[in-house]
Copies of this chain bind each other. A is one copy, B any other.
């Protein structure tokens, strides 16, 4: 008997998982490859970075997700290259032949040509990033407690978040809540509520993809939490001592980067054209031009799938792309015609700022304040992958809401060794 066609999916994010699930009943073998052994619920990653949640609360082992889908094999490993002519992908020690290839490897931070800023201003894409940021935030307060003079203490108690999109807004709000409410009475040499949190945005308002009225609501909520919002200002220089924000130097020992993303190395593997943000230009069927067996989905690709514009870099866009690729492969395997071009359906945008404050935009309907916050919480709990994670996250939020305290304030990793140095 001939072996079943082999579909290789690179990336176990929202797109890759949706693609694998879409192939559940298809007559094919599926290999799902990821560098990590878990699927990450990225929308809550900032809560790991700010000590609300533990990593395991928002990550589910990929093997557990696919244990009962017998045609999926999960493999841990990184891709080193793709050979489209031979239809093979190269891993560190072996090669995998494919009949269909789906690439959904997400995006990485972009420092807009200032890659030297990376060590001083980490971005937030994966669990390791979140633990690194958590370590820096918590160590800053520890260093402030040990500081020998007031200028040094002030620099440790100043936090700059670069980028006013949803990640930057959510991070700034969560850091402000940590400082204002989460550390009360824990330090003897200063009041953590005096910490200065600065959110820098290059354009004239935060959340630029939201309607202006919601941007204004978000800025109001941030101000109420004591976040300084600096719009229309660019970061011109940045190092471990602070940043030049629109020509003015702000001394700060902790800077977080939430400003830009760039495509993953997928374009380089394939040797194909990208847009300015490094995303692979795919056709309206999400296939690489000239390679009908290769799909690129989610953040990794770009095509005008949303009313003539690129789909946004959100989880639903990746999920829909993955499901579309699976549908197209099912059609090809069955000898049916290909489905009509991919169209992204936008259900809405949500961003949370703090306790009882959020903004939600559903096209015509705009919600802010406490109702948006409840909506945000409900949606995020509902979309968590496993029942266990839903229960855990709900319990942790309830606990934090009632007590104002954060559960996961551990400084782990190489943190301590770095206190002196950076």
User: Which residues of A does B touch, CB under 8 Å?
Assistant: 35-38, 54-57, 59, 61, 63-64, 67-68, 73-78, 92-94, 127-128, 131, 138-139, 142, 145-146, 148, 183-188, 388, 391-392, 395-396, 399, 403, 405, 407-413, 416, 419-420
- Once A63-B187, A399-B388 are accepted as A-B contacts, the answer to whether A410 and B92 lie under 8 Å apart by CB is no
B395 lies within 8 A of A67 (CB)? no
Q: A54-B56, A75-B145, A186-B63 are in contact. Are A395 and B405 (CB under 8 A)?
A: no
Q: How far is the CB of A135 from chain B (nearest CB, A)?
A: 10
Query: Which residue on B lies nearest to A131, using beta carbons?
Result: B412
**Is there an interface contact between B388 and A407, defined as CB atoms closer than 8 Å?**
yes
Given A185-B67, A392-B395, also A416-B56 (CB < 8 A) = no
| Contact among B54, B61, B409 with A64 in the assembled complex (CB-CB below 8 Å) | B409
In the assembled complex, the CB of A420 is this many whole angstroms from the nearest CB of chain B, namely 6
Q: Which residue of B lies closest to A411 (CB)?
A: B37
A409 touches B185 (CB 8 A): no
Question: Which residues from B are CB-within-8-Å of A405?
Answer: 64, 388
User: Which residues of B sit under 8 angstroms from A68, Cβ to Cβ?
Assistant: 185
| Complex Cα–Cα for A407 and B59 (A) | 9
Once the chains are docked, how many angstroms separate the CA of A310 from the CA of B36? 46
Given A56-B410, A61-B410, A410-B127, A76 contacting B416 (CB threshold 8 A): yes
A420-B93 in contact (CB<8A): yes
* A218 to B413 CA separation, bound complex (whole angstroms): 35
Closest residue of chain B to A73, judged by CB? B188
Chain B residues, Cβ within 8 Å of A187: 63
In the bound complex, residues from chain B placing their C-beta under 8 Å from that of A395 are 391-392, 395
Q: Which 9 pairs of residues, A with B, have the shortest CB-CB distance?
A: A63-B186, A56-B408, A54-B54, A76-B142, A67-B185, A61-B409, A54-B56, A37-B411, A73-B188
Q: Are B127 and A92 within 8 A (Cβ)?
A: no
Q: Does A412 contact B127, Cβ atoms closer than 8 Å?
A: yes
Q: 12 new A-B pairs (CB below 8 Å) besides A92-B420, A131-B412? A: A37-B142, A37-B411, A54-B54, A55-B412, A59-B410, A61-B410, A74-B186, A76-B142, A76-B419, A93-B420, A94-B146, A392-B396
Cβ of A183: which chain B residues have Cβ within 8 Å of it?
63
Quick check: B407 and A56 within 8 Å, CB to CB? yes
**Would you mind naming 23 contact pairs between A and B with Cβ atoms under 8 Å apart?**
A35-B416, A36-B410, A36-B411, A36-B416, A37-B138, A38-B409, A54-B57, A55-B410, A55-B412, A56-B408, A61-B410, A67-B185, A67-B186, A73-B188, A74-B186, A76-B139, A76-B145, A76-B419, A77-B416, A94-B146, A391-B395, A391-B399, A413-B413
**CB-nearest residue of chain B relative to A71?**
B188
Q: Shortest distance in angstroms between A413's beta carbon and chain B's nearest beta carbon?
A: 8
A76 proximity list for chain B (CB < 8 A): 139, 142, 145-146, 411, 416, 419
Cβ-defined partner of A38 (8 Å) among B64, B77, B410: B410
> With a CB–CB cut-off of 8 A, which chain B residues contact A127?
410, 412
Q: Which residues of B contact A78 (CB under 8 A)?
A: 416
Shortest beta-carbon distance, A131 to chain B, in Å? 7
**CB proximity of A33 to chain B, nearest CB, Å:** 11
- Is B56 a contact partner of A146 (Cβ separation < 8 A)? no
Bound together, the chains give a CA A127 to CA B411 distance in angstroms of 10
